Chains A and B, each alone.
Chain A
Amino acid sequence: EIVLTQSPGTLSLSPGERATLSCRASPSVSSSYLVWYQQKPGQAPRLLIYGASSRATGIPDRFIGSGSGTDFTLTISRLEPEDFAVYYCQQYATSPWTFGQGTKVEIK
């Protein structure tokens, strides 16, 4: 199965700062099947990015997905108060689907 490793585990930043989240895949995964979700307490995961770099409907352009193969990145260019949450990467190229362990973006 494909293992996804996210780093860092926690990111402490202030509103207005840039957040860079990493997701590494082993073995490699097709970009077409790499997605990013945002999850806030008590809510279902919300799709942010699909196909590694395409924003889902209604997602602000401060969310930027990039990468291919084994290294993927989610960048939040300028953090807004509502962006503090947990972020997961996921692959659905092969069964079983696998997930990263999540990166928590918290207010510094």
Chain B
Amino acid sequence: EVQLVESGGGLVQPGGSLRLSCVASGFTFSTYPIHWVRQAPGKGLEYVSGISSTGTSTYYANSVKGRFTISRDNSENTVHLQMGSLRPEDMAMYYCAKAPYWGQGTLVTVSS
């Protein structure tokens, strides 16, 4: 059974940083790309970032480009999303996904 467990969310001030992690199990992690999707309170779903199976290719939404960095450790079945220069509009539930499966999410709150 595919499982994706996110962690690292919390309250951060505008301009601050946060590192999200996603630990995966139930599939051969090193052969699949992994993605992050977010959902602001009361809003729809927004693609944030993705990383190829080997980590050599990454993709970022324009809204986070230059501020967020995605990485992976295939020895630990883990993907990280380093988020910097956080803005109030980054406040959302962040989901880790291996198409078409998603985790339960971790909440990021950006507020002073």
Contact = CB atoms under 8 A, between A and B. Distances in A.
Contacts of B44: 88, 99, 101-102
Interface residues of B, number: 18
Contacts, number: 42
Interface string A95-106: 111110110000
Given A96-B61, A97-B35, A45 B102 contact: yes
B45 A44 contact: no
Given A90-B45, A95-B59, A97-B35, A44 B100 contact: no
Interface of A: 33, 35, 44-45, 47, 50, 56, 88, 90, 92, 95-99, 101-102
Interface of B: 35, 37, 44-47, 50, 59, 61, 93, 95, 99-105
